Amino acid sequence: MERLKDKIAMVVGAGSIGPGWGNGKATAVTFAREGAEVFCVDRNAAAVAETVKIITGEGGKATAFTADVSQADQVEAMVAACLKAYGRIDVLDNNVGIAEMGSVVEVNEASWDHVFAVNLKSAYLAMKHVIPVMVRQGGGSIINISSIASIRHVGISYVSYGASKAAMNQMTRTTAVEFAAGHVRVNAILPGLMKTPMVEHSAGLAASYAKGDVEAMWRARDAQVPMGHMGEAWDVANAALYLASDESRYVTGIELVVDGGLTCRAG
């Protein structure tokens, strides 16, 4: 149970927008269970406090920090605070993400810009400030949480979400190549249909799937997947654990798909 022993891990988007387990919350708890000290960041102070409470309640070590990571000054402050608390950053998990519905015809410009700021600019800013630290230390592992919506139309119209995640994939590949010599690994995880609070509380998703009926949305999502069911936040957390640990030391620039076989199916 010590796959991340002696590592300092920063999880950005470590809360969850409702009760239950979001991907970042499960990842922060998994990292702590494997011996990492976790610097947990979220714009929602109560949500990130809950994640830290779970970790410390289990005997793990974690610190909460509140920031809107679409804002450059707040990302700089986040990195400075982590360095002040721990002196290094071995793992960065960029997990924040939002989905707003609509095709290119329907999405308004403000919504487009907002989705790109939260989903893409946040990861750019975090890497911009964390990579120099990792290079100075002699290396590190960065995990960008993308989505299978970056490579497929999954039946829901949210073009800005898929486009921002697709850009994240290419930013991941490019950055992996550019910092490989500095032993900074940069990988993406592409979750499929996960059963998380974000999905449960998105009126737009429930409306798109099943006219607002959340139970019917769960059934529709289960039915889409070859394995017959959605994934859980823990499936994303376990993939992130592998990429954070030294077990993946020769792996960089990949898109790790975690989707129960969904993207393998033609229709």
Ligand X SMILES: NC(=O)c1ccc[n+]([C@@H]2O[C@H](COP(=O)([O-])OP(=O)(O)OC[C@H]3O[C@@H](n4cnc5c(N)ncnc54)[C@H](O)[C@@H]3O)[C@@H](O)[C@H]2O)c1
Contacting residues toward ligand X, per CB under 6 A: 13, 15-17, 22-24, 42-44, 47, 67-70, 95-98, 118, 122, 145, 147, 191, 193-194, 196-199, 233
Nearer to ligand X, 71 or 137 (CB): 71
**Minimum CB–partner distance for residue 66 and ligand X (Å):** 8
Nearer to ligand X, 111 or 137 (CB): 111
User: How close are the terminal C-alpha atoms of the chain, in Å?
Assistant: 40
CB of 136 to ligand X, least distance (A): 25
Q: Give the DSSP letter of residue 104.
A: T
Catalytic residue among 86, 161, 209, 242: 161
- Tell me which amino acid residue 238 is: N
Q: What share of the chain is helix, strand, coil (3-state, %, to 5)?
A: 50, 15, 35
Closest approach of Cβ 41 to ligand X, in Å?
6
Residue 186 host element (H or E): strand 184-191
Report the alpha-carbon distance of residue 10 to residue 51 in Å, rounded.
13
Least distance from ligand X to the Cβ atom of residue 13, Å: 3
Is residue 86 part of the annotated active site? The answer reads: no
Closer residue to ligand X in complex, CB, 179/209: 209
Dihedral sign, Cα of residue 74, residue 199, residue 119, residue 52: positive
Specify the residue, 182 or 232, whose C-beta has the smaller distance to ligand X. Answer: 232
Do residues 215 and 229 lie in contact, with contact meaning Cβ atoms separated by under 8 Å?
A: no
**CA pseudo-torsion sign 64, 66, 70, 74:** negative
| 8 A C-beta contact, residue 95 and residue 27 | yes
> Of all residues in this chain, which one has the CB nearest to ligand X in the complex?
97
Residues designated as active site: 161
